[in-house]
């Protein structure tokens, strides 16, 4: 009997890998391992060439991922810092909104101010297709550096903003800059990890929850102690420093490749499960981020203590961190799609229970924390459910296309909630009811593919 080689082991592992963690790079690697004669290795680079360009582009490095080692874990650390910074500021925009309504933009309605955060988050996620294509075609580090400079510049501009249009342009610039690094930061783990990819991805995405807790607290304390301009300039300096690990350590391992042709974007729409995912998540996206942007307003409307009002966004984000960390193990144990739908339904229940009727301080804290946990778990599983219904070579394209389509819902959702808050005299009850109904409809739509597949399996067994 021929002994099993490491290449055989890696090939078997790729074939058995959960769809939640399999990527297009795995398919390419499997092809190399299965037909090595058709893919001869190129000569290795000289040992003294250790600059980032040779690491990023060397085709000779195509092969089984190292699944660890100093270089691989430095990539994970750099990506985690990038996600910490980007999503910390993007999802913590509710702290900015509360400050604007009390100071520079106090004459504006909540729905008008909500456009600032809506446009920022829309540009961040809506640019996923473009940033993913850039990541495939070019080296990672120039993209991270460009994004870092753009984020720093937009925060400096924000510090000097005095009029609504200034704030709008500053937040839009930050969203564009954040989009440049978002796809590389979330996809680069697949270059370096195979068997331990779940751990690597969990470490990277934990930065989102941690940033969502730290940034609102940081913004609140800076704006309490300093004038607006000084506070945001200090924030810009801290943000720039925290992005440096990403600039230094985020390096591609696989060679650059041409972008996916435009005609390939039509293929996913022939999969009914993907279409239902798009529709269901479009409904969810109308609601999911509105409580994040209006957390302080919700707490104030419930006459919560000043401390709870000041830290409402941080409380919600702390729950979000717990939900993000718990979603992966729950999905592995109970089924990705099942847990995904359950989190959407629990989000609806939480909104009905805590965000419609008046609450005291304790109820406000509980509502914020629980909603953060269940909504965070739901959003975290979006890449997982997309991967579970996608061919390995289309996962990245389908996920980028999904985020781009959802950007429209993310744009108008918080604005609709802002109008409903104004219609309710500053109370969140009508916005809470609207958000809860969106999650109910989304849960129903997202349940359809699972029911259809279950019925097909039953007919097959019969």
What is the arithmetic mean of pLDDT over 300-319? Answer: 89
Residue 133 has pLDDT above 60, yes or no: yes
For 389-402, the pLDDT digits (tens) are 877 567 667 877 88
* pLDDT band of 405, cuts 50, 70, 90: confident
Q: Residue 46: inside a domain, yes or no?
A: no
CA-CA distance, 145 to 416, in Å (whole number)? 35
pLDDT of 451 above 60: yes
Q: Is residue 159 part of a domain?
A: yes
The tokens describing 428, both together, are 């969140």
Could you report the per-residue pLDDT of 14-41, keeping only the tens digit for each?
544 444 444 555 555 555 555 555 544 4
The pLDDT assigned to 29 comes to 55
The range of the structural domain enclosing residue 179 comes to 65-258+266-455
Specify if 30 maps to a domain: no
What pLDDT, on the 0 to 100 scale, is given for residue 410? 86
pLDDT at 61: 43
Higher pLDDT, 43 or 313: 313
pLDDT of residue 53: 40
What's the pLDDT at 456? Answer: 79
Average pLDDT over residues 165-180: 95
The pLDDT assigned to 116 comes to 92
Once rounded to an integer, what is the mean pLDDT over residues 91-109? 88
pLDDT tens digits, 212-224: 889 999 999 999 9
Q: What pLDDT, on a 0 to 100 scale, did the predictor assign at position 55?
A: 41
pLDDT at 118 over 60: yes
Average pLDDT score over residue span 108-136: 84
How confident is the model at residue 33, as a pLDDT? Answer: 52
pLDDT of residue 57: 40
Please indicate whether residue 156 or residue 46 has the higher confidence score (pLDDT). 156
The pTM of this model reads 0.74
Give the pLDDT score at 225: 94
At 373, is the pLDDT very low, low, confident or very high (cuts 50, 70, 90)?
very high
297 domain residue, yes or no: yes
Q: Is the pLDDT of residue 361 over 70?
A: yes
52 is a domain residue: no
Q: What angle do CA 355, 361, 366 make, to 5 degrees?
A: 55
pLDDT of residue 280: 94
Q: How many distinct structural domains can be found in the chain?
A: 1
In sequence order, what are the residues at sequence separation of 6 or more whose Cβ sits closer than 8 angstroms to the Cβ of residue 144? 78, 82, 181, 184, 185, 243, 246, 247, 250
Mean pLDDT of 415-443: 91
pLDDT for the residue 365 = 94
Report in angstroms the alpha-carbon separations of 100 from 246, 321, 423.
Answer: 30, 26, 20
We report the CATH number of the domain holding residue 358 as: 1.20.1250.20
Q: pLDDT band at 296, cuts 50/70/90?
A: confident
Beta carbons of 248 and 49 less than 8 angstroms apart: no
Residue 22 in any domain: the answer is no
Specify the pLDDT at position 198.
Answer: 62
**Which one-letter DSSP state was computed for residue 390?**
S
Average of per-residue pLDDT across 306-327: 88
Amino acid 56: pLDDT = 43
Is 18 or 271 the better-scoring residue by pLDDT? 271
Mean pLDDT of the chain: 82
Task: Kindly state the average pLDDT of the residues 321-344.
Answer: 86
* Position 462 pLDDT exceeds 80: no
* Each residue's pLDDT tens digit, 41-82: 444 334 344 444 434 444 344 567 787 888 889 999 999 999
Is pLDDT larger for residue 256 or for residue 10?
A: 256
| Assigned domain for 155 exists | yes
């Amino acid at each position: 009997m021929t002994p099993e080689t490491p290449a055989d082991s890696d090939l078997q592992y790729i074939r058995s890998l959960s769809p939640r963690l399999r990527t297009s790079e795995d398919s390419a690697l499997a092809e190399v391992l299965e037909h090595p004669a058709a893919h001869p290795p190129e000569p290795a680079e000289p040992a003294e060439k250790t600059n980032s360009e040779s690491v990023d582009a060397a085709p000779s490095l195509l092969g089984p991922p190292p699944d660890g080692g100093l270089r691989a874990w430095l990539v994970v650390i750099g990506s985690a810092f990038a996600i910490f910074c980007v999503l910390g500021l993007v999802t913590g925009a509710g702290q900015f909104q509360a400050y604007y309504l009390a100071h520079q933009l106090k004459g504006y309605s909540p729905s008008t101010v909500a456009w600032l955060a809506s446009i920022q988050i829309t540009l961040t996620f809506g640019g996923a297709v473009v940033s993913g294509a850039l990541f495939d075609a070019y080296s990672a580090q120039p993209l991270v550096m460009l994004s870092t400079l753009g984020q720093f510049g937009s925060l400096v501009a924000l510090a000097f903003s005095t009029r609504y249009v200034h704030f709008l342009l500053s937040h839009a610039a930050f969203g564009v800059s954040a989009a440049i690094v978002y796809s590389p930061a979330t996809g680069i783990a697949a270059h370096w990890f195979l068997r331990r990819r779940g751990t690597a991805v969990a470490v990277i995405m934990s930065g989102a929850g941690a940033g969502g807790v730290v940034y609102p607290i940081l913004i609140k304390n800076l704006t309490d102690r300093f004038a607006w301009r000084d506070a945001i300039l200090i924030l810009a300096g801290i943000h720039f420093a925290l992005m440096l690990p990403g600039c230094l350590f985020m390096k591609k391992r696989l060679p650059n490749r041409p972008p996916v042709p435009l005609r390939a974007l039509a293929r996913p729409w022939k999969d009914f499960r993907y279409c239902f995912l798009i529709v269901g998540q479009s409904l969810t996206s109308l609601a999911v981020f509105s409580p994040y942007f209006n957390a302080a307003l919700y707490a104030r409307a419930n006459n919560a203590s000043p401390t709870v009002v000041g830290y409402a966004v941080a409380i919600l984000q702390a729950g979000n961190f717990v939900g993000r960390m718990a979603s992966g193990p729950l999905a592995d144990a109970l089924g990705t799609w099942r847990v995904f739908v359950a989190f959407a339904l629990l989000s609806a229940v939480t909104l009905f229970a805590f965000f419609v009727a008046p609450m005291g301080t304790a109820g406000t804290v509980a509502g914020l924390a629980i909603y953060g946990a269940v909504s965070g778990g739901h959003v975290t599983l979006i890449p997982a459910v997309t991967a579970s219904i996608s061919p390995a070579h289309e996962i990245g394209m389908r996920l980028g296309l999904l985020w781009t389509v959802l950007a429209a819902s993310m744009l108008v959702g918080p604005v609709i909630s802002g109008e409903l808050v104004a219609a309710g005299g500053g109370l969140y009850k009508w916005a809470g009811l609207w958000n809860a109904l969106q999650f109910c409809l989304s849960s129903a739509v997202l349940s359809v593919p699972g029911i259809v597949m279950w019925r097909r399996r039953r007919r097959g067994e019969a």
